[in-house]
Amino acid sequence: MSRFNGKRAEFEASGEKINVAILGAGRIAHTMADTLTQMAEGSLYSSWIHPYAVAARDITRAQAFADQWHFDKAYGSYEELTADPDVDLVYIATPHSLHAEQAILCMKAGKNVLVEKSFTANAGQAREALAARELVKGKVLESAGMTAREVCDALCQALGAEPVLLADCFRQSLLPGDYLLLCSDGLSNYLEEDELLHAVQTQPSDALCDHLVQIALDRGGRDNITVVAAYCGGEVAR
């Protein structure tokens, strides 16, 4: 069983980190490795996340991947990785046809599993994977372009506690012709207020949100880029 399943208090007191492993060493695996590396280096997640191991069918390829992303271990088979007692969560980044088989392999070894989309190749495989989850009391989640925040939430669930959501409610009076622009920090960190105002004044309402998101992406934004633009008068941009 993964070391801290259902033991969040023990985990937080231990000073340990969640060891994340990746099955596969292709393009999607590199994308996740980049995300994990940034999480491990960032102030929000550095006390939680440790990019730990990678497995591929070819040990040379796995070792090259581990060297590039500074993972602790590389394995030349998936079975070797799942046998490692220090692996807490496995991200499956192999071809879709292998997802169910490998998710079941990981869960039977006591590992929490995060599966790249699509979850499985068909409904029958999905049922098999979910049945295995119930049998071993494991955690299995699908990654559909998950953000760093969502990955962290998945890890919180593996520790036996649901993520905490703090809601911030407000009331705002609007006049006909007003715009209400709601931006996440993933967007507002990359655009100044005068730029937001200029975009509202010059962009068509049906293109405004895409325009602002693209600017944030062009300037290096990667995560939590969200914008909602509402026009008082009935028209909603996104």
pLDDT value for 136: 53
Least confident interval from 2-6, 113-117, 174-178, 179-183: 2-6
pTM value is 0.58
47 alpha carbon, distance to own chain's centre: 17
Least confident interval from 61-70, 115-124, 159-168, 195-204: 159-168
Cα–Cα distances (Å) from 160 to 28, 143, 153, 220, in that order, read 28, 19, 11, 34
Q: Strand pairing partners for 50?
A: 19
Chain segment 72-128, per-residue pLDDT in tens: 999 999 999 999 999 988 999 888 788 888 888 888 888 888 887 767 767 777 777
pLDDT value for 168: 53
pLDDT tops 60 at residue 173: yes
Which residue, among 82, 84, 68, 110, has the nearest Cα to 23 in the 3D structure?
Answer: 82
